[in-house]
Amino acid sequence: MDKCPHCGARGQLAHYTAGKYWKFAGISLFSSGRVRIEDECRICRKNRKLDYSEWERRRDLALSERSDHLQTPAEALAFLETVLQYSALEDLQEEAQELTDRFSDNPHIMALLGNAFSHFREWEQADAFFEAAGTTPECECLRAIDALRRGYPAEAAPKLEFIFQEQLSAYRDTLYLLAEAYQARGQMDEAAQVLDRIEKIWPSQAVEPEHKWYRKRNHGKKHLPTLALKSSIPAVPFFAQPVVYGTLIPLLLCYLGVTWWAGQIRPIYLLNGTDAPYDIEIAGKRRTLVPGRPELINIAEGNLEYKTFEPGVPSASVAVKTFWLTRAFQKRTFLLNPDSLALLYTERNGYAKRPLGEIDPQFHFYQARRLH
C-alpha cells in the first residue's frame, strides 16, 4: 500500500483521468480537454494534477524504457510497477510471454504478474500466473488481494490469517483491504473484528489516520452495503453542447431573475390590533395603521426594521424571508402586527355538489405575534 505525501496515511492512492470543463456559476458548460489525477488520498482527498498530454508523454517514455530492460528480476519488478502506475494493460499483455519465459522459476515475479492481471480484471490470466507462483507468504497475500478484488472477503480471510498469527507488520496493510471488503458488502461486524484484532496486536495503530478512517466507516452502519451510484444522465455530445447550453443557460438566468425580483416585491400586510390608529415607519416611509383595516405593501425580503410612534408599541425588526430557489412558486402571506394584539384566524371549509352530510368548518387562531 502507498503512503500519502500530504497526511501520511497509508492506503491505496487513486489514479484516474478526469475531464476539464469551462464552468459558469458552478455548472460545467464546455469540455476543454482532460486532466490526469495522480496519488489521490481517500482520507485527506489531496492529489496531484497533470496535463493529460504531459502524462501521456511520461507514460510512453517510462514504458519504453522499462520494456527495453527486462533482464533481471529488479527490472521486471520496475516494469510491472510502471504498468500499474500508468494502467498499461496492452504493454503488460505484450511483455507477459517474455517475462514468463525468462522468470518462470521466480515465484515472486509470477505472483506479481498474477496481481497485475488481477488489477485489470483479467481473471483467467491472473489464475494461471498465481497457480505457477507457489505458496510463499507474499504470494498468499497477492492471492488474497485477488479474492478481495473479486468481492470474496470470506475466501481471502484464511489466506491472511498467518499475518495475525506471526504478527507480520510488513503485511498489515493487506488486513485493512480485508476490512474494507467486508464493509463494501455490508458485513460491518466482520470488519470490526478485523480492526479489533489489528488494535490488539499493534496498539499504536489505533491512533493512525487510516485506522480511524476505517473505524469511522464502520460506525453506525450495521449491515448497510455500500452502493456505487452511477449517474443515469447521458453526457451531452460535443456537437450538441452549443444548442443545449445555449438554451439552458438563458432559461436558468431568466429563472434566477424571476426569483430575485419576487424577493424584491414580497407582499406584506400591516395590521393594527389596538382600538386607536397609530403611525409606523417602514422602509423609509411613514404610514398610518387604522384598527381592523389591513394595509398591503410590497417590500424587499430581508431583516425589516420598523419604527412606531405609539408609546405602548415598541419598535423592532422582523425577518421576512423565503427560500430563494423556490421563491417564484411560493404563495406565502406575511402579516406584520407591530403591537402583537391582533387576533387572526383561518377558516377551512368544504364544498361539494352533493354533500353526504354536514361539513364542519375548521378554525385556527393566531395571536401574540409580530409576524405571521
The pLDDT tens digits for 139-198 are 888 888 888 888 888 888 888 888 888 888 888 888 888 888 888 888 888 888 988 998
Instruction: Give the range of the structural domain holding residue 191, as residue numbers without chain letter.
Output: 2-218
CB within 8 Å of 22: residues ≥ 6 apart? 28, 29, 30, 32
Same domain, residue pair 250 and 294: yes
Provide the number of structural domains found in the chain: 2
Q: Report if residue 235 sits inside a domain.
A: no
Is there a single domain that holds both residue 27 and residue 162? yes
Query: For position 230, what pLDDT does the model report?
Result: 40
Please check whether residues 209 and 287 belong to one and the same domain. no
Asked whether residue 224 is assigned to any structural domain, the reply reads no
Same domain membership, residue 263 and residue 186: no
pTM of the model: 0.52
Mean pLDDT, range 273-302, rounded to an integer:
82
User: What CATH number is attached to the domain comprising 86?
Assistant: 1.25.40
Shared-domain flag, residues 255 and 355? yes
Is the model's pLDDT at 240 over the cut of 80? no
Any domain includes 225? no
Q: What is the pLDDT of residue 131?
A: 85
Can you give the pLDDT at residue 186?
83
**pLDDT on residue 28:** 61
- Do 246 and 204 fall within a single domain? no
Q: What is the share, in percent, of the chain residues with pLDDT greater than 90? A: 0
Q: What is the pLDDT of residue 60?
A: 85
First to last CA, the chain: 60
Please report the pLDDT score of residue 90 as a whole number: 85
Q: Residue 243: its pLDDT value, please?
A: 65
Smallest CA-to-CA distance from 272 within 219, 336, 215 is with 336
Task: Write down the pLDDT at residue 223.
Answer: 41
Residues 6+ away with beta carbon under 8 Å from 108: 73, 133, 136, 138, 139
Query: Are 287 and 347 in a shared domain?
Result: yes
**Does pLDDT of 67 surpass 70?**
yes
What's the confidence (pLDDT) of residue 11? Answer: 66
Residue pair 287/270 in contact (Cβ under 8 Å)? The answer is yes
pLDDT at 236: 53
